[in-house]
Amino acid sequence: MICAISGEVPDEPVVSKRSGLLFERRLIERYIEDHGKCPVTKEELSMDDIVLVKTNKVVRPRPLQAASIPGLLGIFQNEWDALMLSNFALEQQLHTARQELSHALYQHDAACRVIARLKKERDESRALLALAERQIPASMAGVAPAAVVSNGKRAMEDEIGPDGKKIRPGINPVMIDELTECNTMLSAQRKKRQVPPSLASIDELERYTQISSHPLHKTNKPGILSMDIHPSKDIVATGGIDTNAVLFDRTSGQILCTLAGHSKKDNHFEICSTG
């Protein structure tokens, strides 16, 4: 006569009408109040399905080990060891559950990021497609009344080429003449341009080496959008993609201060010097 929950001989045994299992009365009552099911079969169970078993009240003899202090200490030691082993198993299960939960949350976050990126690309593609659909009819309406030009020859719009395909419109000869004239004018201006004497030569540029490197802005959002140098002091001010402005002393190689609080990128930065 062993309790199906505690595994010990019950003081007040009861039997379930549905499963025929034996339980300790106080344990099964508490379990039914919390869950309303049988702890073994997981079937619906109520207090009406429990039958009290009448037994003779027999005083159980004390174990032999409990007759002395060393025996009691041995019992306590065994109970403590069992408790520690159970606690260790619970900690291992908790650690495993935390790892599985972290992995599941990471996968969920990665999936949400992928879905968001795909939705953004889809919306951009739809916007480009809609823009192209609006531009194509307008371009075709402007080209339709004019004659089609291909390979330097004028042809009708519905003219078919040797390969059986329609001849696509080309560049108008007037436009070709304008482009050629503009190219000749710009080339003459570039040839007359004088190279300033202060400009470094190719040999000097090849001898340039990096003296030092100073990461001024956040590495997760790298990039400098604007920069200014103090006219009298060797101080450099930079504005970056990370929405921060940094004042840097080039002589000491130290960051003087970082100006935070901007909500957008710093596209323009200028040092104002006062007398």
- Give the pLDDT confidence score for residue 269 in this predicted structure: 64
Same domain, 8 and 49: yes
- 24, part of any domain: yes
Among 41, 60, 79, where does a domain finish?
60
32 domain residue, yes or no: yes
DSSP strand E in the chain: where? Answer: 13-16, 22-24, 50-52, 148-150, 153-155, 224-229, 235-240, 245-249, 254-259
Same domain, 113 and 79: yes
Residue from 231, 229, 227 nearest 245 by CA:
227
Q: Is residue 233 part of a domain?
A: yes
Q: Residue 66: its pLDDT value, please?
A: 74
Unique residue bearing structure tokens 């194509």: 136
What's residue 150's pLDDT?
47
Q: How many CA atoms lie within 13 A of 39 on its CB side?
A: 17
Residues 6+ apart with CB under 8 A from 172: 149
Question: Per the structure block, which two tokens stand in for 131?
Answer: 């823009």
**pLDDT in the model for residue 161:** 59
223: left (phi over 0), alpha (psi -120 to 50) or beta: left
- Are residues 53 and 97 located together in one domain of the fold? no
Q: What is the dihedral of CA 222, 228, 232, 234, to 10 degrees?
A: 10
Q: Which segments in the chain show pLDDT lower than 50? A: 144-157, 275
The pLDDT value recorded for residue 157 is 47
Q: Is 18:37 a contact under the CB 8 Å cutoff?
A: no
Q: So what's the pLDDT on residue 94? A: 94
For residue 221, give Cα distances in angstroms to 44, 110, 240.
59, 20, 8
Alpha-carbon span 239 to 245, nearest angstrom: 5
Tell whether 182 is covered by a domain. Answer: no
Are residues 90 and 35 part of one domain? no
**Whether the predicted model's global pTM rises above the 0.75 cut:** no
Which pLDDT belongs to residue 109? 92
- Would residue 255 count as lying in a domain? yes
Give strand pairing partners of 23.
Answer: 14
Q: Tell me: do 53 and 86 sit in the same domain.
A: no
Of 104, 121, 138, which closes a domain? 121
> What local confidence, expressed as pLDDT, does residue 155 receive?
46
In a domain, 236, yes or no: yes
75 and 55 both lie in a single domain? no
CA dist list (Å): 112 to 51, 117, 175, 221, 222: 54, 9, 52, 22, 25
Same domain (yes/no): 45, 90: no
Q: What's the pLDDT at 95?
A: 93
pLDDT at 149: 47
| 203 in a structural domain | no
- Domain interval for residue 249: 222-274
207 near 231, Cβ under 8 Å?
A: no
Q: Specify the number of domains making up the chain.
A: 3
**48 & 1 share domain:** yes
Is 51 found in the same domain as 28? yes
**Domain boundary pick from 121, 141, 170:** 121
